Amino acid sequence: MRIVHYVNQFFAGVGGEDAAGTGPELRDGATGPGRKLASLLGDEHEIIATAVCGDDYAAGNPEFAAELVAGARERGAEMLIAGPAFTSGRYGMACARIAAAACEAGLPALAAMHPDNPGLGEAAGTSVVESGLTARQMKDSLERFAAAASKIAGGEELTAQDGRIGPVARSNRFAQHSAAQRAVALVLTRLGGDRDATEIPLPDFDQVTPAAPIGDPAETVFALVTEGGFVPAGNPDRLESARASKWVRHSLEGLDSAQAGSFESVHGGFSTQWANADPNRILPLDVARELERDGAIGRLHGEYLGTTGNGTTVADARRFGVEWAAELRQANIQAVILTAT
Amino acid sequence: MTAQDGTGLTRIVHAVRELELGERTSYSAGCLTVGEQSARELLAHPALAEVRLACAAPGDSARIVGVLDAVQPCSKGPDGGGVFPGLLGPAMPVGRGETHILRGAAVLAAGYLPRAQEAVIDMSGPAAPLSPLAATHNLVVEFTPADDASWEDVDAALRRGLVKVAAHLAEAALEAEPDAVEELPEPGSSSNGKPRVAVVTNLQTQGKFKDVFVYGRSLSGGLPTVITPGELDDGAVVSGQFGHPALKNPTYLHQTHPVVAALRASDELELAALVLCPEPVDQANKELVSAHAARLCAGLGVDAAILSKEGGGNADADVTLKMDRLEEEGIAAVGILGEMAGRDGTGPPLVVAPTKATAMISTGNYDERMTLPACERGLGRERVALLDQPSTDEIVLPTAAIYCVQSTLGWGRLTCAETA
């Protein structure tokens, strides 16, 4: 099979974080880990090209995936593989997105990453195979990746034995008895000593290591971000009041504070009466400007990022987090104040 | 002890199989006639410019949109002491003596209030099995607020009006031959050796339009409290919470509390206590209330507890923290929770998971989409705000918008499992 392999700027040899804003491109043949992968895949398959994109660019511009997939198809690709992304969140998300885009375009696809990678949630049903934690486990990771890719190329489904990871879809259906009756039955089971019986498997949340403390605030660029449903009056982007599927960004340039009538909160989880009377209480622009004027902080970033945190799925919240991190990193922001409601 | 000894409730059940509007309120052989003039007078309030009454029966090609609260008609008779204490009757403990109920009927309000979400009931079709209020004969109260009225006053007027009408309707059946008489003894300290189970019911306490009233008061800022289950039958808990329609616990479901009913019906377990808890909005108070509820349960000598919540993701913590604290007290904890696993059902099902407890019942995934077919009649609101479509159109909605489908008081059969 003619395969296109996706890697980020680092594994393509373009550069580290300084090159994370690199846009999408296709290169002939295998690159970086793709070379070893090509030899593991054997003679039956050929890596005809490597698709490359910077992690920040990919996180901020989801359309990179469709663009690269279209390019891969023009080159006659019959399959797309991405990674391994290990635990790198932005890279994992990019791998998941491009694999999902390839699937949508009708190509068999496979991504590889660690089960804790937040990008796993973006795979949208596309196959993902487990990789190690870091590039130190490259050899084992590539061996499993190549074996899984051969299986997918042969039209087979991956199993847990192959290292298939990723969320298993759950769907609604009717039980025989009411939830109350089932709860009573589960009490009896639990009192009988069974600690495993449950209808809801315990979710496996990833643990995020906090960033190192900032040095001197007076030398630091700060950004304000919020999940308080904070929008310009009239809500031009139609940000949802609950179950937000997106986030918004708006300029704060030239504003001394968030005036009532200029901004409002559309959050559906609390009474917005006081927030709308003084929108600074959701996004503390007034105080941030004071600190900026006094030199207590270096500078305030010229725009805010915001969404509504109300009934938001963990998967969406995780995606917003990865996208915000990429955006803010691109803008050289060193510290963020996130107001939560 | 039995109810006749004075430490329990005798529930006198009158079944409603037909509902109509008429000149005078009456009940006879399953047919409830609502006197329009009387109902209007009971609902009249300066905050309401107009009220409109309509009937919706199971099987009707009708959709009710923007459902607020729903109430089961009940009465303790002219001399029996007040139902809905603190709102209609005096704020004194209820739950003893006799209570007449109209089973199969509900009075509900539908329309716009701030913070209220879609809240759809289809009286027929594929979504009908998803709402307890699609199986009742409903008197639907639509309203137009007075020009100068605050939304808070509109909300309060509707709440008071609904319970007044509910009591009035049940009074029509006081002399009728009952369909059933149910003796509901109060939980005692003895269980004849059966495991003792507490029902721990969390009440939303998030301020205006997101509050629940116990004897007319919010539990906000308070600690868990123990009441007898019979107090629920008499309307001691009245809902003023209009967010998260799928997860909503209306007054109707408190009055008919399905977990209480399931434990009363159990031969193997003893209903030992009902614990009501506020759902604070901050972590420290969630932890305090959870630890306190677990201590209360330990003090009551229970072996197990079944927990429920009201509201979205942050209310998961109010259940799962309590589950953990209960397990630490040596009490087996079973939580009833709705899942929020995203449209495709692949996301984490809970926002806050227990760390020690494990036993959970699912009332389905909030985010899964479903298609509701077009219908003939729309009540409550003319358009479905979320979609900006006429209420009678074919509509595609998240499960989250269907009234009470995921209520963790546990009336429904919806659950969630791995897609085969």
CB contact (8 A) between residue B419 and residue A171: yes
Size of chain B in residues: 420
pLDDT score for B301: 95
Complex ipTM tops 0.95: yes
Q: For residue B272, how far is the Cα from the chain centroid?
A: 21
Q: Which residue of A has its CA nearest to B333?
A: A187
The residue whose two tokens read 């900032």 is A214
Put simply, whether the predicted model's pTM sits higher than 0.80 gets the answer yes
| Banded pLDDT at A228 (limits 50, 70, 90) | very high
- Say if residue A337's pLDDT is above 90: yes
| Chain B interface, best mutation among A204, A207, A313, by max B CB count within 10 A | A313
CA-to-CA distance for B307 and B333, rounded, in angstroms? 7
The ranges of chain B with pLDDT < 50 are 1-4
Q: What is the mean pLDDT of residues A71-82?
A: 96
- Say if residue A19's pLDDT is above 70: yes
Q: Which residue of A has its CA nearest to B330?
A: A191
Nearest Cβ partner of B312 from A189, A202, A311? Answer: A311
Whether A196 and chain B come into contact, CB under 8 Å, resolves to yes
Q: Does domain A2-165 have CATH number 1.20.1070?
A: no
**B221 contact partners, CB below 8 Å, separation of at least 6:** B205, B278, B280
**B176 contact partners, CB below 8 Å, separation of at least 6:** B14, B27, B28
- Say if residue A51's pLDDT is above 90: yes
Percent of chain A predicted with pLDDT > 90: 81
Whether B412 and chain A come into contact, CB under 8 Å, resolves to yes
**B108 contact partners, CB below 8 Å, separation of at least 6:** B64, B67, B68, B69, B70, B71, B133, B138, B139, B140, B141, B162, B250, B252
Q: Which residues of B90-116 are buried (b: 16+ CB within 10 A; e: fewer)?
A: eeeebbbbbbbbbbbbbbbbbbebebb
CA-to-CA distance for B311 and B241, rounded, in angstroms? 9
Backbone angles phi, psi at B122, to 5 degrees: -100, 125
- Burial grade of A209 (CB within 10 A; 0-12, 13-18, 19 or more): exposed
- Chain B residues with CB under 8 Å of A310 CB are 312
| Chain A interface, best mutation among B309, B415, B419, by max A CB count within 10 A | B415
CB contact (8 A) between residue B336 and residue A167: no
Q: What part of A 102-161 touches B (C-beta under 8 Å)?
A: 121, 124-125
pLDDT score for B4: 45
Q: Which sign, positive or negative, has the C-alpha torsion A166, A171, A177, A183?
A: positive
- Chain A residues with CB under 8 Å of B362 CB are 179, 199-200
- Chain A residues with CB under 8 Å of B353 CB are 202-203, 205
Q: What is the mean pLDDT of residues A304-314?
A: 90
Q: Which residue of B has its CA nearest to A190?
A: B332
- Give the helix ranges, DSSP H, for chain A: 33-41, 55-60, 64-74, 89-104, 138-153, 179-191, 273-277, 285-294, 314-330
Whether B191 and chain A come into contact, CB under 8 Å, resolves to no
Give the DSSP H or E segment for B314: helix B314-328
CA-to-CA distance for A216 and A169, rounded, in angstroms? 46
In the three-class reduction of DSSP (H, G, I as helix; E, B as strand; rest coil), residue A138 is classed as helix
pLDDT score for B343: 87
Find out whether B366 and B343 touch, Cβ atoms under 8 Å.
no
- Say if residue A7's pLDDT is above 90: yes
| Banded pLDDT at A202 (limits 50, 70, 90) | confident
Nearest Cβ partner of A199 from B306, B342, B415? Answer: B415
Q: What are the residue boundaries of the structural domains of chain B, listed by start?
A: 3-401
Q: What is the mean pLDDT of residues A158-183?
A: 91
Please report, to the nearest 10 degrees, the dihedral formed by the alpha carbons of residues B40, B44, B50, B55 taken in order.
-30
pLDDT score for B312: 85
**What digits encode the pLDDT tens for the residues B258-302?**
999 999 999 999 999 999 999 999 999 999 999 999 999 999 999
Q: The tokens of B268 are what?
A: 């193997």
Q: What are the residue boundaries of the structural domains of chain A, listed by start?
A: 2-165, 217-339
Q: The tokens of B392 are what?
A: 């009678």
In the three-class reduction of DSSP (H, G, I as helix; E, B as strand; rest coil), residue B244 is classed as coil
CB contact (8 A) between residue A167 and residue B346: yes
Find out whether A203 and B317 touch, Cβ atoms under 8 Å.
no
Q: The tokens of B67 are what?
A: 């459902």
**What digits encode the pLDDT tens for the residues B11-67?**
999 999 999 999 999 999 999 999 999 999 999 999 999 999 999 999 999 999 999
- Say if residue A223's pLDDT is above 50: yes
- Chain A residues with CB under 8 Å of B350 CB are 200, 203
The residue whose two tokens read 């002399």 is B175
CA-to-CA distance for A193 and B316, rounded, in angstroms? 25
Nearest Cβ partner of B340 from A178, A184, A311? Answer: A311
* DSSP 8-state class, residue A19: G
Q: The tokens of B218 are what?
A: 């919010």
Q: Which residue of A has its CA nearest to B265?
A: A181
CA-to-CA distance for A121 and B348, rounded, in angstroms? 9
pLDDT score for B420: 65
CA-to-CA distance for B393 and A231, rounded, in angstroms? 31
User: How many C-beta atoms lie closer than 10 Å to residue B79's C-beta?
Assistant: 6
pLDDT score for B195: 97
pLDDT score for B48: 98
Whether B351 and chain A come into contact, CB under 8 Å, resolves to yes
